[in-house]
């Protein structure tokens, strides 16, 4: 038996034969062309064909997985039509007189390296997307099928590959594929997201554990722990057959919790919300029966735009989410740009320590022209549902008052234009700095709610850079100091009659559920897939 450890990105257990896919990109030959102009036209024709293929793939994905996941292929089409991308390819063909295949491949590597070098993990994962769309164009140029990996006919199997592109993943035959394991990949990639949507156990990053000679061998994969067992012995096989049955029964029981109240056996109630990054995520929120949205990360509207998103663009996004959620609360965080989320068109200066730098509310207060556009969109959308505004990275009472003054100016402008908005819209703040905890009583007097951002609160309380992998043993979110901060903020909120929740990753940590209930948190906002497991834990709590 061979034991391999990777990174589990989609839960579940699969047991079956391995099928190795040859998905490694082969070297692209560089050739000198006699007619660069004709080669540019050849590239354009291939690009247009690739766009048509992506349109077909988008329609198939929408029909099978919903509009939200289909938006990925809208993004891929935009990548192929991006002026910088196209210009780079055509300039290389013209100036160096090279073949289109080589120009596309070179440009893809250049853009992928640019994405990979960014501090933001979401943008780093886009390196795989630009390679995916470029490989599609190269396949068209080379006369190959553009559909990506084919898993073939035959019995059910586990896919083992060097890597899988999103377009390849979505085309796998789910009636035959039990799960997949890749040598490369990112937990934030669209491939990982699609695996979770498809309900396929998936493991990435096994590195040197990838061995094409394993084709046909039996394997057990655990998409939660990231463990892979090739040719498992009898004891391991029996153990994981039992775990697989338990996991499937657990999923069945969780589905029965839909529609049931989130309360302990003694009647203590907790509101269970979900975190989202874009409007399409609402589908998962509703599918997992979340009671509201506790964190809409509005900065993704900025991260995914080439320029400042307009008021109308933002209004439509917020309106869509509010309408889909009906009466359920939607807490929208104002833009949290800076630190690990860099946006080129903001033209932010390099900072030696961006986590302590010019970010979030600090940008909004010093560039009110940007802030007002977002606030106008939020207020206009507020008449279409139950929206609340949340201010990030607050460290002082004055920051809150300054933000509320700008909000008041925007309200006056809307009234002057006879534009409707919710005049009683809730305004809250994120508690994610020690300063905000220390000033919690004063801050609670200014706002309608607190939402504790445990990722940054842990970073700032323990003086541990959350992006530094060498600090894992020191950046302990279970630290008594962090938990005491959470208690202090909650108690201050309750003293002033406002509610307090958590919107950081810690909210879904089942080891701390009892602690959070004892502290008296009013709300927990987690990823949509964590809603039902957390509801189960709360409903089984004995001492509410």
Report the CATH number that the domain containing residue 315 is assigned in CATH: 3.20.20.60
**Same domain membership, residue 424 and residue 287:** yes
CATH number, position 12: 3.50.30.10
- Are 135 and 177 in a shared domain? no
What global pTM score does this model have? 0.69
Q: What is the CATH number of the domain that holds 109?
A: 1.10.274.10
Residue 472: how many other CB atoms lie within 10 Å:
9
Whether residue 60 is found in the same domain as residue 176: no
Q: How many CB atoms lie within 10 A of CB 60?
A: 14
Count structural domains, the chain. Answer: 3
For residue 110, being part of any structural domain is answered with yes
- Give yes or no: residues 299 and 418 share one domain: yes
Cα–Cα distance, 426 to 449 (Å, whole number)? 8
* 303 and 401 co-located in one domain: yes
C-alpha span between 298 and 90 (Å, rounded): 35
DSSP per-residue string spanning 497-536: T-EEEE-SGGGG-GGGHHHHHHHT-SEEEE-GGGHHHHHH
Q: Could you tell me which residue, 363 or 22, shows the higher pLDDT?
A: 363
Confidence of residue 18 (pLDDT cuts 50, 70, 90): very high
Categorise residue 289: left if φ over 0, alpha if ψ from -120 to 50, beta otherwise. left
Q: Is 481 within the bounds of a domain?
A: no
Inform me whether the pLDDT recorded for 342 exceeds 80. no
pLDDT score of 505: 75
Has 456 been labeled as part of a binding site? yes
Task: Assess whether pLDDT exceeds 80 at residue 210.
Answer: yes
Report whether pLDDT(152) > 50.
no
Is 109 within the bounds of a domain? yes
Answer yes or no: is 477 within a domain.
no
**Domain extent at residue 368:** 265-428+505-539
474-504 burial code (b ≥16 CB/10 A, e <16): ebebeeeebbebbbbbbebbbeeebbbbbbb
Enter the tokens of residue 538. 């709360």
Based on the fold, state whether residues 370 and 315 are members of the same structural domain.
yes
Identify whether 472 is part of a domain: no
Please write the tens of the pLDDT for every residue from 230-288: 999 999 999 999 999 988 888 888 889 999 999 999 999 999 999 998 888 898 899 89
415 labeled binding residue: no
233: its two tokens: 């012995």
In the numeric block, which tokens belong to residue 221? 């994969």
Domain contains 493: no
| Residue 124's pLDDT band (cuts 50, 70, 90) | confident
Whether residue 381 has pLDDT greater than 60: yes
**Do 95 and 223 belong to one domain?**
no
Label residue 204 by pLDDT band (50, 70, 90).
Answer: very high
Same domain? For 13 and 73 the reply is no
Q: How far apart are CA 286 and CA 324, in angstroms?
A: 9
User: Between 293 and 357, where is the model more confident?
Assistant: 293
**Structure tokens, 70:** 């289909």
- What integer pLDDT is reported at residue 68 of this predicted model? 64
Same domain, 207 and 184: yes
Which of 87, 107, 141 terminates a domain? The answer is 141
Terminal-to-terminal C-alpha distance of the chain: 46
Q: Rounded CA gap, 412 and 401, in Å?
A: 16
Least confident among 76-85, 328-337, 345-354: 345-354
Indicate whether 445 belongs to any domain: no
What pairs with residue 182 in β-bridges? 161
Helices 480-495 and 454-462, packing angle to 10 deg = 120
Q: Poorest-confidence range of 92-106, 266-280, 312-326, 348-362?
A: 348-362
**Is 473 part of a structural domain of the chain?**
no
Q: What local confidence, expressed as pLDDT, does residue 520 receive?
A: 97
Question: Is 29 annotated for ligand binding?
Answer: no
Closest by alpha carbon to 287, among 537, 530, 30?
A: 530
**Whether residue 287 is found in the same domain as residue 408:** yes
User: Residue 67: its pLDDT value, please?
Assistant: 67
Positions marked catalytic: 190, 503
Do 198 and 88 sit in the same domain of this protein?
Answer: no
The answer to whether residues 203 and 305 belong to one domain is no
Rg of the chain (C-alpha set)? 25
Of 85, 120, 141, which marks where a domain is finished? 141
432 annotated to a ligand binding site: yes
Q: pLDDT by residue (tens digit) across 233-246? A: 999 999 999 999 98
pLDDT tier for residue 419 given thresholds of 50, 70 and 90: very high
| Paired strand residues for 387 | 330
Q: What is the CB neighbour count within 10 angstroms for residue 527?
A: 19
Distance between CA atoms of residues 375 and 377, nearest Å: 5
Domain boundary among 219, 234, 249: 234
For the chain, what is the largest distance between any 2 Cα atoms, rounded to a whole number of angstroms?
81
Is 60 annotated to bind a ligand? Reply is: no
| Predicted pLDDT of residue 531 | 92
């Amino acid at each position: 038996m061979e034991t391999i450890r990777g990174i589990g990105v989609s839960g579940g257990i699969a047991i079956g034969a391995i099928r190795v896919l040859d998905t490694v990109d082969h070297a692209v030959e560089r050739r000198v062309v006699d007619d660069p102009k004709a080669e540019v036209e050849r590239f354009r024709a291939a690009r247009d064909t690739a766009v048509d293929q992506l349109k077909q793939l988008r329609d198939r994905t929408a029909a099978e997985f919903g509009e939200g996941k289909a938006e990925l292929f809208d993004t891929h089409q935009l990548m192929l039509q991006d002026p910088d991308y196209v210009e780079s390819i055509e300039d290389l063909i013209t100036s160096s007189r090279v073949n289109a295949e080589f120009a596309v491949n070179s440009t893809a590597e250049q853009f992928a390296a640019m994405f990979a070098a960014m501090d933001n993990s979401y943008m780093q994962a886009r390196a795989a997307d630009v390679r995916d769309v470029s490989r599609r164009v190269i396949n068209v140029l080379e006369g190959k099928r553009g559909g990506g990996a084919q898993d073939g006919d035959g019995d059910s199997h586990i896919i083992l590959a060097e890597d899988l592109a999103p377009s390849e993943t979505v085309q796998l035959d789910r009636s035959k594929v039990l799960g997949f394991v890749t040598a490369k990949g990112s937990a934030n990639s669209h491939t990982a997201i699609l695996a979770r949507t498809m309900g396929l156990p998936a493991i990435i990053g096994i590195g040197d554990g990838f061995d094409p000679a394993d084709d046909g061998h039996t394997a057990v994969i655990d998409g939660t722990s990231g463990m892979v067992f090739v040719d498992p012995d009898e004891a391991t096989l029996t153990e994981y057959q039992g775990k697989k049955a338990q996991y499937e029964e657990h999923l069945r029981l969780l589905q029965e919790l839909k529609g049931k109240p989130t309360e302990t056996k003694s009647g203590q109630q907790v509101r269970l919300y979900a975190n989202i990054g874009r409007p399409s995520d609402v589908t998962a929120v509703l599918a997992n029966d979340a009671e509201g949205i506790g964190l809409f990360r509005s900065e993704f509207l900025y991260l995914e735009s080439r320029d400042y998103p307009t008021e109308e663009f933002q209004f439509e996004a917020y309106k869509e989410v509010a309408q889909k959620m009906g009466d359920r609360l939607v807490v929208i965080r104002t833009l949290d740009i800076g630190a690990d989320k860099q946006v080129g068109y903001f033209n932010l200066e390099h900072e030696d320590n961006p986590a302590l730098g010019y970010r979030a509310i600090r940008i909004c207060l010093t560039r009110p022209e940007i802030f007002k556009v977002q606030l106008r969109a939020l207020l206009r959308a507020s008449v279409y549902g139950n929206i609340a505004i949340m201010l990030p990275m607050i460290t002082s009472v004055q920051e809150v008052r300054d933000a509320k003054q700008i909000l008041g100016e925007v309200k006056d402008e809307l009234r002057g234009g006879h534009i409707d908005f919710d005049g009683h819209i809730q305004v809250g703040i994120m508690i994610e700095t020690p300063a905000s905890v220390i000033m919690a009583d004063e801050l609670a007097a200014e706002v309608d709610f607190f939402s504790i951002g445990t990722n940054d609160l842990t970073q700032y309380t323990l003086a541990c850079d959350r992006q530094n992998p060498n600090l894992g043993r020191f950046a302990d979110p279970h630290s008594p100091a962090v938990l005491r901060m959470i208690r202090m903020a909650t108690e201050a909120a309750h003293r002033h009659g406002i509610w307090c929740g958590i919107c950081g990753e810690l909210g879904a940590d089942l080891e701390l559920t009892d602690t959070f209930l004892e502290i008296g948190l009013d709300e927990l906002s987690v990823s949509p897939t964590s809603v039902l497991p957390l509801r189960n834990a709360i409903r089984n709590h004995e001492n509410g």
